[in-house]
Structures are given as C-alpha cells and as structure tokens.
Amino acid sequence: MYNSKSMKAEEFICHEEIEDTLAFADENRNNKEMIRQILDKARECKGLSHREASVLLACEDPEVLDEMEALAREIKKKFYGNRIVLFAPLYLSNYCVNGCVYCPYHHQNGHIPRKKLTQEEIRQEVIALQDMGHKRLAIETGEDPVNNPIEYVLESIKTIYSIQHKNGAIRRVNVNIAATTVENYRKLKEAGIGTYILFQETYHKESYEQLHPTGPKHDYAYHTEAMDRAMEGGIDDVGLGVLFGLELYRYEFAGLLMHAEHLEAVHGVGPHTISVPRIKRADDIDPDTFDNGISDEIFAKLCALIRISVPYTGMIISTRESQQVRAKVIDLGVSQISGGSRTSVGGYTEELRPTDTEQFDVSDQRTLDEVVRWLMETKHIPSFCTACYRAGRTGDRFMSLCKSGQIQNCCHPNALITLKEFLEDYASAETRAIGERMIKEELLNIPKEQVRKITEEYLVKIGQGERDFRF
C-alpha cells in the first residue's frame, strides 16, 4: 500500500509502513554495523530515508548520540554556515470554525475574545514590527470562511507589502493558513508570498481525527494532501511541521520524513522548511492533558536527526521554546528563529504583552534587539535576508544553490548586508558595537575576493543611508 509517489495521503503516509519502520528500528537499535553504515551515509550529506533515520532515533548508545550531534553540527555549518534568519509571526484573526482540542482558538472556546484586524490595524502592527527591525513575517489566521476568507488574506498581504515606514519595509510574507484549493494557492503565489507553511499536527490518522473532531480540518486526507495542491498552484517553497506532544514522537518523525520524501519523489524538491513546535500551555489548553510530551533531550535529538536526514532543508524554531533550548538546537541544525514575537491578535501595538488572545505561551520573551545581540555573542550572524525569494531562487533553484556550496558567496554576504541595515536603523548602542565587530570579522569568510569587495562597497553605502542591496 505504501507508495511515496502516490497522491493519496494514506498511501504516501502509510500507517502500516510507519509501524513496520518502528519495528525495524527496534530490531536494529543496537545493530552496530547497520548504524555505522547509516552514519557513514549521512556523512555524505545526501540525506537519510525514514527507515534509516528511525534506526538512529531508536538507538540509545551515548557514543552514537554524540556522533549524531557532531555530524548535525558539521552539516549545519556546511550548508548554512553560522547564519540564523529572523522573522516574526503576525496574527490577523483568531476566528476559527474548527474544534482542534489543543488550540485555544477552537470554535467551542466561548470565553476567549475574538478579534480580526482591519487593514488599518494591520498597518499599525506592521509599522510596529518594522520599528523593531523585522523584514520577514509569517501571517497566521484561524480557519473561518466567513471572517477570514482568502480575499481577506490577499488584501492583508497587499497591505503589508505596501507599507514603507522610515527605512522599514517587509520584504517577504510567508503564509500559515488552513489547507485550501489549488485556485487559492495560485492566488497566494500571485500575491507574492514566500513560503506556504502548514503544520500536519500529527500524521497518525486516527489520532488526527480525534484531535480535530469538528470543522473542515477534520478531513485528514484534504489536510495532508495540501502541499501537493500548493505545488500544483505554483508555490514551490512549502514548510512542513508536526506539533510534538500530540502523538508518539517516533511515529511523527517517521511520518514527517515520509512526507518530505513524497514531495521530493513527486515534485522534485522537498520541503523548504521543517518546523519543530512542541505543545505549550495556552488559555484553556493544558499540555499535561496530552501524555506524549517529550523531554528537552529527546527534542534536541529530533532536531539533530532532522538536520542529518534532510540536510538542505531549513529548520524553524519559535519563541515557544526557552532561550536555553533554542541555544542548544540552533547548533544542531535550526536555521530560522522568531524574535520579539507576540502570538496574540493585535499584540505588537500594545505596550504590555496581551495574553487574552495568545495562541500559546511565549517562553522566550526577549526583544528583537536582545535576540540579535545574543546570537552575535554566541557567534551566529543574525540575518534579515529575503534575497532568494525576490530573485526567484525558490524551490529547486534554491536547493541547487545550497547543494553547490555557493552559500558563502551569496547568503553569507546578504546576511552581513541586512545585519548592517539593522545596526544602522534599529540596534541599541551595545548591539551595534558588537555587530560592527562581527561584520568586520565575517567579511574575511567570504571566499570570492570580488564578492567580498562588492559587499564592502554595499556596507559603506548602507552607512551613508542607502538601503536594500543584495546578491
């Protein structure tokens, strides 16, 4: 029944195949010869199958774990260097018709204030985000065909792109909305979105249907096949993710990799990003009611294995996680993080962080400036780059760039250029001083002399007031 090229959800995410995979992993968790072969293959940076990766996940040998983490760090550095891309979520509306039992926006929650931003309110939220220094947003809405139709989302995207405030501009809008039609994905593509993000929540069909008892999201197949419709609609950058804690993590991990394999097999390009959220407390949601929670140690192991298994795919971690957890997994493979986030509708224009409409508790509540400074103090380059989207380097074109090893001559200088913009326009004095030293040091790591020379020229022009240079 399992067929990675099938367009049917229950065939490319096949329950029997996952069960067989988990059994195979258990049988071989101490098979030293097989584990050595899998690690040697991973070292070639060509990725691992869901079966191979599941064997490593099942293995509990401390020496193997150390080697996996070391390999994850090596692969991360090879393809993404020490850059960390920054973004922020923007919640447009918490109206929702679904009954998801893990989300406070669920339709039955009668005491949470419902709110939908007007275009003017969106404008004010975007200006607040621009004043922090953000250039990249991920917009979020609940699923409600009356309050949040596709027309509202499209109008909101147009509004966001139109706002020029001082030196601020949102250069890329990623979209995290409910599964929709090919026609609507075409409209999103035409609106100029970056990545279309949709979390599967869980790949276990029976659990999925229990966790989504009412509303259109109850349809497992329609939701799981959404990325294929997005690809058909012309969106070649898609982002996967599960909500760890809803189901057994080994099942979810296998399903996640099978979904990535399916996209590669059918469309020739895997997911642009994989997100790794864990269920958190929010309004009427108590994560302790879900008995599949995972420790920080298992979470770090999952992040390392995702990096090893899909070496060219970006990995995202949000402010759901604490500073300590984020520091650990950034080194193990994460390449994008949110900063200064507010997960409530209209939260950025409020002086105090509102909690009455938050989708989840924010663990890392530092300002964007504090996150940027922290990244630089830990030898990571904060990047606000959106160049690949704007230059058409998406889908297989981005993957080709990544695989070619040209990241250091493209993404690295773009990171320094956008960091310089942040330092000039938004940074505190302390952050700016650290950043100027970092830029000076990191210029030496651009391999091509001509690229380095052009980067230096751009940096001078930014200091003189010009903006928006890119390779």
Predicted pLDDT of residue 351: 78
Rg (the chain; Cα; Å): 21
Closest CA to 313 of 410, 223, 403: 403
Residue 287 pLDDT: 61
Query: What is the model's pLDDT at position 353?
Result: 58
What is the per-residue pLDDT across 228-237, written as a single tens digit (0 to 9) for each?
Answer: 999 999 999 9
Which CATH topology does 82-365 take? TIM Barrel (3.20.20)
List Cα–Cα distances, 70 to 20, 67, 326, 329, 337, in angstroms.
29, 5, 17, 12, 21
Q: How many angstroms separate the CA atoms of 79 and 412, rounded?
A: 11
> What's the confidence (pLDDT) of residue 409?
78
pTM (two decimals): 0.94
* pLDDT in the model for residue 396: 73
pLDDT at 376: 98
Give Cβ neighbours of residue 410 (< 8 Å, ≥ 6 apart).
387, 401, 471
d(CA 37, CA 339): 39
d(CA 143, CA 105): 10
In which element (H, E) is residue 370 found? helix 368-377
Angle between helices 32-43 and 50-58 (to 10 degrees): 120
Q: What is the pLDDT of residue 104?
A: 86
Beta strand extents in 319-470 (DSSP E only): 336-338, 381-383
DSSP string, 284-344: TB-GGGSTT---HHHHHHHHHHHHHHSTTSEEEE-TTS-HHHHHHHHHHT--EEE-S---S
Structure tokens at 418: 């956008």
- Dihedral in degrees, nearest 10, Cα atoms 89, 91, 95, 100: 20
C-alpha 309/C-alpha 307 separation (Å) is: 6
- 154 sits in the region (left: phi over 0; alpha: psi -120 to 50; else beta) called alpha
Q: Which residues of the chain have pLDDT under 50?
A: none
Domain boundaries, the chain: 9-76, 82-365, 402-463
The pLDDT score that the predictor gives to residue 399 is 73
Task: Return the residue matching tokens 């949601």.
Answer: 285
Q: How many CA atoms are closer than 13 Å to the CA of 322, on its beta-carbon side?
A: 5
Q: Do the beta carbons of residue 345 and residue 116 sit within 8 Å?
A: yes
Give buried/exposed letters for 45-74 (b at 16+ CB in 10 A, else e).
eebbbbbbbbbbbbbeeeebbebbbebbeb
